[in-house]
Amino acid sequence: MVKIDFGGVLEDVITRKEFTVQKAQEVLKDEVVVSLGYGIQGQAQSLNMRDNGIKVIIGQEKEGVFKKEWDKAVADGWVPGENLFPLEEAAKKGTLKMFLLTDAAQKALWPKIKATLKKGDALYFSHGFSIVYKEQTGVIPPADIDVILVAPKGSGTSVRRNFVDGSGINCSFVVHQDATGKAMDRAKALGIAIGGGYLFPTTFEKEVYSDLTGERGTLMGALAGILEAQYNTLRANGHSPSEAFNETVEELTQSLIRLVDENDMDWMYCNCSETARIGALRWKERFRSATQPVFDSLYELVAAGEETRIVLEKSKAPDYRQKLADELKEMGNSEMWRAGTTVRSLRPEKPKKQE
């Protein structure tokens, strides 16, 4: 590990300079790494490992609602009977089992996966949900296996996209249970193999508390809600859909957030007009004061297990998938996001690279 200064706080991190892909290959050379599930994270992490020279097999059911993921795996070059198998069959073959099913599916299928665990195996998670809320999920690993976590700080789409462009994605990691004495190396090796940009230590509890808060907060829930509120205010005051969308979303995604990405929020402010800067600094305080109680309440509900209870309850309903599709369709069909589709279609085409 190396110590890095994060705004005056020193933290230990793992980078690809001191823990190389070659070292990851060496650590994992005698392992049978199995990705249990070929959803968004399962697809991205397993493809990145395959491209990094790690031997990987896929465990994915192929009937009914699971056929889409099975077909996707086949399209990605995984061969049935060679490195693509039904879930339990693959789990039995693996020594390092990457439990990448949805949280609800992990609860439902845990008894079957648990039965495949052998002394010395490693059980890998990319989310602390099942372990931290074990009273709700029933996921309690046996004492004679390693239990580790590597959690990419982004969607599976970003995990794959960043890997392909060479940048990688930052990941948290932790050893929850070290039965073999090699759990730490296993965790580091997998973090690098799946395309981690750098790895920073956490705990299962901190990972899931921060993740659930972030998803419901600035990353998704709060972001979508704030954008909708501003768009609605502009439309109610006579602004056109095009103007309202451009001032609410397009300028954020195509200009300002890119400046934040390059060199932080203060630098973005310095690259905006004086009028914008003065107003934003003043209103930032009002928005922070208004939302701080909401975030405090959100974190309390996450830590208390209420948010996970709701997830497990809703996801087990027989009509859950249809209800989810209906909710997302309603969002996509709103005037705001229909305007967004049109705005994106009007963006100038990027010039093609010269061969």
CATH code of residue 36 = 3.40.50.720
Distance of CA 10 to the CA centre of its chain: 25
For a pLDDT cut of 70, what percent of the chain falls above it?
99
Task: Tell me which residue range forms the domain holding 322.
Answer: 217-345
List pLDDT tens digits, range 180-232: 999 999 999 999 999 998 899 999 999 999 999 999 999 999 999 999 999 99
State the Cα–Cα distance between residues 137 and 14, nearest whole angstrom. 31
Measured N-to-C along each axis, helices 306-315 and 103-114 cross at an angle, to the nearest 10 degrees, of 80
For residue 90, name the pLDDT band (cuts at 50, 70, 90).
very high
pLDDT over 60 at 354, yes or no: no
Q: Which residues, at least 6 apart from 309, have a Cβ–Cβ distance to it below 8 Å?
A: 136
The answer to whether residue 212 is domain-embedded is no
Answer yes or no: do 75 and 177 share one domain: yes
Are 268 and 259 a contacting pair, CB within 8 Å? yes
Which amino acid is residue 340, in one-letter code?
G
Last residue of a domain, one of 144, 178, 202: 202
The reply to whether the predicted model has a pTM over 0.85 is yes
Number of domains forming the structure of the chain? 2
Last residue of a domain, one of 175, 202, 229: 202
Tokens 């059911």 locate to 61
The answer to whether residue 351 is domain-embedded is no
Which amino acid is residue 91, in one-letter code?
A
Answer yes or no: do 134 and 67 share one domain: yes
Instruction: Write out the H or E segment, with its range, that includes residue 135.
Output: helix 134-137
Are 168 and 162 a contacting pair, CB within 8 Å? yes
The answer to whether residue 208 is domain-embedded is no
Are 52 and 193 a contacting pair, CB within 8 Å? yes
Answer yes or no: do 60 and 171 share one domain: yes
Q: Which residues are identified as catalytic?
A: 127
